[in-house]
Amino acid sequence: MNEDVLGQHYTEVPGQRVVAAALRAAYAWSVRDVHRNAAMLEIARMTGVVMEVHGPGLGPVAPVELVEHLRAPLGHLLAGVRGQPAELADVVLLDEDGRLTENAYDLVCEHVIPLKDVAGERSWLPTWTTMHSDQIRQRVFTAMITSTKQDEYVGSRKFLIEHPAGGEQELVELRDRAGGIRLAKGGYRDIPEEQIYRASDGRGWWWPCLDCKWPMAVTSVGKVRCRYRPHNAVFDLVPGNRPSLRRRDGARRPAPPAGQAAEGAKCVDAGVWRFVVVPGASELRIAASAERAGAKVSLWPFLDRFDLLVAAGGEKFAVDVKECLSLSALIGRLRTRPPSARILLPKSCEWQLETLEDALPGLAVVTETKFLGQIRSAVRKAR
C-alpha cells in the first residue's frame, strides 16, 4: 500500500463528519473518569458538530442527548444525513458499561476524517479518533524512510509489526540487536488500563493477541479478546495472583498466550496498531506462506510502492494487501488512488471480492486463498 499521502486533502461528507464526531465523543465518555473536564468539553464540542450537520431542531441538542445516541445504533444519529455509511447503521459505539465497543476500534475508525474548523488533536485524544488512517501511517513510515535504504525500511517496519508490545527494556534490547531500526519518536507508550488485569496483590498483567501480538482488551465480565474482531480467539480470565486464560470455545489449539507483567511494559498507539500492525500481520503471514511454498518474497519493494513482490518459478506476482473491514471506505479510496499492483484481499476480507469487482470492474483483485494457490502452482510448474 503506497502511503505517500503528504499534501493529500480529504473532502468532508456530512455522514463522515457525524461519524468522526460520534467516535470522538464516545472515546471522551469512556475516559471521563480520568480526563473529566477535557472529556466533557470534547463531548460538548462534538455535540455542536453533530448539530451543525443536522441543522436547527434536528438531532441531539445537548451533550447528554448525544451520549444516549452513542448507546444506540448509529443509524439513528445518521438519519437524514447525506453520505451516511450504510454499513454503520446497526453499529453501537458505547456498551452498557460506557466503554467503547469492538466495532469502534475495527470498523468505525476506518471512517474517521479530521474535522475541519475543529481543533483536531488533544494530548489525551488518541490519533485514531482525530486522524485519517493514511495520516497515521504516514507519520510512522516517514520516520522509517529518512535513510532511503530499502533494507532499513523493511527492517524497521517489520520490527514494529512483530513487536507492537513488550517490556520496555526488552524492546530496547531487541531494537539494538536488530540494528538499523528507525521508529517514530514516542511510538511506544504505557499499556492502557482497560487492557490490563489487576490481581488482588495489585500487580498488573496483559496478554498479547495470538495474531497481532498487541495487548488484548480485558472486560469487566472477565472476557479477554483482541479488539480487532477477525482475530477471533476469545478467552475467559482465570483470576489469581498469577492469572491465566482459558479458551471460551474449549479448543486446545492454539494454546492461550501467557500473561506478561504490566510493570514497565509498553505498546504502540492504538492508531498505529490498527492501521500498521494489523494489516502488517497479514502481510507477513502471507509472505511466510508463499516462502513455505518455495517462493522468494520481497517485502514493501521500492520503499513501499506496493506490499509484496513474489517470485515463484519463472513468474513474478506483485500485490497490494488491503485489510479494510469497511468495504465502502475501501472502494472510495481505490477510486481516488488507484493501486500500483493487483489488490489482494486477506482471509478476513475475502467476502468483499464480488462486491469490489462489481463496484470497480477494471480492478485486478485476488483473494489470499487463490493467490497462494497460484504461487504453489507456479512453483510446481518450475520443478
pLDDT, greater one: 131 or 288: 288
| Residues above pLDDT 70, as percent of the chain | 96
pTM passes above 0.85: yes
Above 80 in pLDDT, residue 18? yes
pLDDT band (50, 70, 90) for residue 4: very low
Above 60 in pLDDT, residue 5? no
**pLDDT, tens only, 203-223:** 999 999 999 999 999 988 889
pLDDT at 3: 39
pLDDT at 179: 87
Range with top average pLDDT, 120-129, 223-232, 243-252, 289-298: 289-298
Above 60 in pLDDT, residue 110? yes
What's the whole-number average pLDDT of the chain? 91
pLDDT at 334: 94
pLDDT at 254: 84
| Residues above pLDDT 90, as percent of the chain | 75
Q: Within a 10 A sphere around the Cβ of 220, how many other Cβ atoms? A: 10
**pLDDT, tens only, 54-86:** 998 888 999 999 999 999 999 999 999 998 888
Answer for the pair 170, 129: CB distance below 8 angstroms, yes or no: no
pLDDT at 9: 45
pLDDT at 299: 98
Dihedral sign from CA coordinates of 122, 125, 130, 136: positive
pLDDT at 1: 42
Answer for the pair 242, 201: CB distance below 8 angstroms, yes or no: no
pLDDT at 7: 38
Above 60 in pLDDT, residue 144? yes
Say how far apart CA 335 and CA 216 lie, in whole Å.
Answer: 34
pLDDT at 11: 60
The region of weakest confidence among 107-116, 259-268, 271-280, 287-296 is 107-116
Above 60 in pLDDT, residue 330? yes
pLDDT at 375: 98
* Beta-strand relationship, 265-268 and 188-190: antiparallel
Question: DSSP letter string over 114-164?
Answer: PPTTS----TTS-GGGTS-HHHHHHHHHHHHSTT--HHHHHHHHHHHHH-S
How far CA 98 is from CA of 125, 220, 226, in Å, comes to 17, 11, 18
